[in-house]
Amino acid sequence: MPRPGRLAAELSLSVVSGAALALCLPKPGLCFLGWFALVPLLVLLYRAAPKRAAGLGLAAGAGFNGLAFYWIYSTCRFASVPVPVALLAWGALTAFLALSWGMIGWLGAKLANRLPAAARAFGWALVWTAVTVAWERWTPRPCADLLEYTQWKHLSLIQIASVLGPHGLGLLIAWVNASLAQAWLESKPLRPALPVALVLAAWGFGRHELASRPASEKTVPVEILQPDVDEYAKWDPGSAARIDDDFSGLLGRPRSQDPAIVVWPEASVPRILPDGATVPEAEGWSRKLKAFQIVGAVTQSGTELFNSAVLLDAAGAFRGVYHKRELVPFGEYVPFAFLRRFIGILDELGGIAAGAADQPLLRTPAGPAAATICYEAVFPRWTRRDAARGAGVIFNLTNDGWYKDTWGPYQHFETNVFRAVENRVSVVRAGNSGISAVIDPWGVVTARLGLDRRGRLDAALPAQDPFPARSFYARHGDWFGTLCLLALALLAANGLLLSRRA
């Protein structure tokens, strides 16, 4: 057992290692740290027994998630949540999200450290990736720690996600870090040669993909409304008329051509609408502009409330609705009812019901489309599910006004770039306070309206879908993640066999 002073130093170093990785994310954007931020942690894990490795992993996970999600505390305070409750919310989320890091540490020390030296670094990368896959697929955690997100600035590198999905680049990043750690311990500088060569191959693939990106001659004009409504006053009874005037002011601005589609942000209408009905605030504008409208609204069916995206046609008639599937804990539902009195305005509407996993696609002038609302964009499975059913455009309606100018809106925005690349779909993002944008299937942001700005973004989508068959990942699912899970199972079986022989 390590001495208390040494253990404290190792735990501190693990926290710093995890926090350094968080600096890769928007807004700091120090993406280069992604290739070696985990080296100090892995140096410790290579020499740790399983229980100690689990503790070091938990510490690193706390460092990463505590920094990456500091804005949870800020959001609670913006909503006048008492300081102790805000600290508890931030700490509880950090601890929960760190659990997967503890599992990585325990499993890696149990399995990867027992592999031959030539395979040990890859074993750690495999464990890291497989555990991340399991948590991303089967838990409701917002996976900001997908390692691919650390390279959000580098479009060439992330193109490989169209084939390998959200975990391929992550495995390479973990492998480089693990190889550097092993090279340090063994004084063998060539250990990272193979993973670095594969990273260069992925970069070359991405360069080729971006070079083949065509210019679209025919386009579908799209308008995105960003009213920048104060979320903390939105549901006040006296605010409805002013909010309606804000939208009318944006829609009444001069334009060079009429849009085919107008996109409103999440919960644009400050009242509850009957499910399956038109939206009076948008209906007249549909007819005036002869444009489809996609409107974020809270709808009600019977006793159930849904966070919805309502589609109106050019005549203002109802043509479809999408109900949000992945709900925000403590924002759209409260797991434990007694906590409601502590979170105030964050639980303004009470419980929201989740929509069905597969819902009819929206038929728009830009072709078959689907919607994600708010932080659903963080979960790769939902966009892939809709792309596999034929959606070529994803409308992401959100309201990041809760988070003001913290890291949160920037992190949230960049996940949409990865969903576009992974599935080879266009993403149209409408945010109440921003960031609103159009992202093409290569992850290129073709139009953007920044955070905390009021305005209308006039943009365009390609009239001809450049990827009618979608991506390999969209067609075949997360095959790479499944392969990693199977490989981990084989590694665990091998470890069990070795334990019985010992």
Q: Which two tokens stand for residue 275?
A: 């499910």
DSSP 360: P
Question: What distance in Å separates the CA atoms of residue 355 and residue 382, rounded to the nearest whole number?
Answer: 12
CA distance 63 to 52: 17
Give the residue carrying structure tokens 């149209």. 428
Q: Which long-range contacts link 281-285 to residues 24+ away (Cβ below 8 Å)?
A: 281/244, 281/247, 282/312, 282/316, 283/312, 283/316, 284/316, 285/251
- Helix (H) and strand (E) counts for the chain? 17, 13
- Long-range contact list for 239-246, CB < 8 A, 24+ apart? 239/270, 240/270, 240/271, 243/268, 243/270, 244/281, 246/454
Burial 257-287 (b: 16+ CB within 10 A, else e): eebbbbbbbbbbbbeebebeebbebbbebbe
Among 24, 31, 143, 374, the active-site one is 374
* Alpha-carbon span 184 to 280, nearest angstrom: 65
Answer yes or no: 266 catalytic: yes
Q: Which helix (H) or strand (E) holds 61?
A: helix 50-68
Q: Is 404 a catalytic residue?
A: no
Amino acid at 40: P
**Tokens coding 488:** 């981990």
In the three-class reduction of DSSP (H, G, I as helix; E, B as strand; rest coil), residue 300 is classed as strand
From the candidates 231, 266, 281, 332, which is the catalytic residue? 266
DSSP 186: H
CB proximity list for 126: less than 8 A, separation 6 or greater: 112, 171, 484, 487, 488, 491
What's the CA gap between 68 and 75, in Å, rounded? 13
Determine the Cα–Cα distance for residues 484 and 475; give it in Å rounded to an integer. 19
State whether residue 273 is helix, strand or coil: strand
Is residue 376 annotated as a catalytic residue, yes or no?
no
Given the residues 324, 326, 332, 484, select the one marked as catalytic.
Answer: 324
Kindly state the tokens that stand for 89.
Answer: 């919310």
Alpha helices in 269-346 (DSSP H): 280-289, 340-343
User: Could you give the residue numbers annotated as active site?
Assistant: 266, 324, 374
